[in-house]
Amino acid sequence: MRILYLDLDSCRPDHLGCYGYHRDTSPHIDVIARQAMIFHNCHTSDAPCLPSRTALYSGRFGIQSGVVGHGGTAANPKIEGSSRDFSDSFVNQGLARQLQKLGYHTAMISPFGQRHGAHWFYAGFNEVHNSGGGGMESAEEVWPSIASWLDRRGADDHWFLHVNFWGIHAPYRVPADYGEPFADAPLPPWLETDAEAVLARHNRLTGPHSSLDFDMYDDRPHPDYPRYPDSVRTRADLRRVFNGYDTGIRYVDDHIGRIVARLKAAGIYDDTAIIISADHGENLGELGIYSEHGTADSATCRIPLIIKWPGGAAGVNSKLHYNVDLAPTLMDLLGGEKQPLWDGASYAPAVLTGADVGRDEVVVSQCAHVCQRSVRWENWLYLRTYHDGFHLFPQEMLYDLEADPHEQHDLAARHPELCREGQWRLSRWHDAQMQRMARSASDVVDPLWTVVREGGPFHARSTLPGQPGGLEGIARYIARLEATGRADGAAQLRAAHLDPLNPVLKAATRPAA
């Protein structure tokens, strides 16, 4: 058995043709999907990049491993303490190591461990090819390593190859000579018919990567990335966002087509398992955020999962799943053993026979841009916010994802009974996690609260990225809000995030006379 894992950074499933997207973004992926099981409701347990990929290969929720953020203590695994063996749990129980035990040669083409200082990401891999761009690689820069590896080892048996494509991730960097494949394609229906009204609402919002603060906390242009706008004020700006994102998918898809052609030329395509997934999705207007994976919602945390398994089933599975479920699933499919620390549940019967297996709910966490946890059950998404990342989110939000898949209408005030159910589901999950932690970990600390204690999520700390000077950075952002017609948001942000007893800050943020 050969296993190819295609990791498409920031890829939303609903922007792929095989998931029903109206633009022709993914013709090669769609061909693979016709022979595969398509999982419609897979979620990363922890978003965004570093927590998600740590969860994938450790098989563990971030609350257990300790990795829930992009900086500070919670960007590193918990110290294992006296229970640590000669090597750590990432080696002893990680997915890649279990594949090695089954005789697989494990290889990775990705700069991810270096990008995030996450050297545990490479545990259990025989080969690591660092493409060297720190996550700014376009697909044509990754391709030579892929082609070389397949030429060298593709015909061998028993390999697992992880290929990481970055071209979908902002800023949209597809080469200019690729053209504009979606120049005449309509926007998604929810925006095509109502773009001006949506933007009128969004242009009043605050926070990084909001429509007027596309470059995190300002609207600084990026001339090196002409597909990437500086703000989203008009229908034309919206088209630029969606065209840039979708062109990134199409360009990556072209390179997946080249991989498939290589496998077919070697006569190994039919006997190669292909898994297509992502670390997270992308906010494209959901919760008023653009081109960022910044929340614990469906836009950020729902990911594609397409599995073409030799001799397996083809079809659609609509049950709920986690990315951490892949590790026990592969062990079931390959005859390996689920590890004691793993939090996932196998869905191997869905891959082999199309069985309707899965979960009734999933809980997802985000602690890099905001501190949130959410629970998805039936058509409901309940989000609870512990640090709003300067977006002024309320403590709880509720969305009907069937009627409102792009999360434009918060129903929390209308359905307090569903909010109570959502909070009960979160509390039940949290109790189970803490009980598990008390039995198997060296501490009983929920790392979400570590992030809050250390000043908030990395991308929304009081020291703003690119701006010096502690809380004075918030003061500057508040001044920007006031200067761009968002005085109400500025006042709320001042009340929520600045200490009113600090005379320096009071002076720094006092309205002009």
For 5, 154, 222, 423, 472, the CA distances from 110, given in Å and listed in that order, are 12, 18, 25, 38, 37
Q: Which of 297, 307, 442, 327 is nearest to 54 (CA)?
A: 327
Bridge partners (DSSP) of residue 108 are 128, 162
For 36, 155, 270, 316, the CA distances from 150, given in Å and listed in that order, are 22, 8, 15, 30
Number of H helices, E strands in the chain: 18, 15
The domain that holds 126 is classified in CATH as 3.40.720.10
User: Is 47 within a domain?
Assistant: yes
Q: Are 471 and 347 in the same domain?
A: no
Q: Are 351 and 472 in the same domain?
A: no
User: Is 110 within a domain?
Assistant: yes
The full length of the chain comes to 513
Domain closes at, from 337, 355, 373 = 355
Backbone dihedral region for residue 111 (phi beyond 0: left; psi -120 to 50: alpha; all else: beta): alpha
User: Is 421 within a domain?
Assistant: no
In the block, which residue shows the tokens 């397409």?
A: 306
Residue ranges in 324-400 assigned as alpha helix (H):
326-334, 348-353
Q: For the chain, which ranges sit under pLDDT 50?
A: 468-469, 501-513
- Phi and psi (nearest 5°) for 126? -70, -35
Whether omega for the bond prior to residue 229 falls within 30 degrees of 0, making it cis, is no
Q: Are 151 and 277 in the same domain?
A: yes
Q: Are 213 and 346 in the same domain?
A: yes
User: Is 101 within a domain?
Assistant: yes
Task: Retrieve residue 36's tokens.
Answer: 């595969």
Neighbours of 306 (CB within 10 A): 24
Domain closes at, from 339, 355, 371 = 355
Domain closes at, from 301, 335, 355 = 355
H-run or E-run covering 43: strand 37-43
Torsion of CA 494, 497, 503, 506, to 10 degrees: -10
The pLDDT value given to residue 18? 98
Q: Are 279 and 139 in the same domain?
A: yes
User: Is 368 within a domain?
Assistant: no
Q: Are 10 and 128 in the same domain?
A: yes
Bridge partners (DSSP) of residue 398 are 382
- Containing structural domain, residue 501: 463-513
CA angle 70, 76, 81 (to 5 degrees): 160
In the block, which residue shows the tokens 């196998």?
A: 346
- The set of residues, in sequence order, having a beta carbon less than 8 Å from that of 439 and lying 6+ positions away, is none
Please give the span between the terminal C-alpha atoms of the chain, in angstroms, as a whole number.
73
Q: Which of 284, 276, 461, 431 is nearest to 363 (CA)?
A: 431
What domain count does the chain have?
2
Q: Are 349 and 498 in the same domain?
A: no
- The set of residues, in sequence order, having a beta carbon less than 8 Å from that of 262 and lying 6+ positions away, is 147, 150, 151, 154
User: Is 402 within a domain?
Assistant: no
**What 3-state class would DSSP assign to 262?**
helix
pTM over 0.85, yes/no: yes
450-473 core/surface letters (b: 16 or more CB in 10 A; e: else): bbbeebbbbbbbeebeebeeebbb
R_g of the chain computed on alpha carbons: 22
The pLDDT value given to residue 464? 54
Q: Are 349 and 470 in the same domain?
A: no
Q: Strand 272-277 to strand 302-308: parallel, antiparallel, or no bridges (unpaired)?
A: antiparallel
User: Is 389 within a domain?
Assistant: no
In the block, which residue shows the tokens 């017609």?
A: 485
User: Is 229 within a domain?
Assistant: yes
Q: Strand 46-47 to strand 361-366: parallel, antiparallel, or no bridges (unpaired)?
A: parallel
The pLDDT value given to residue 499? 60
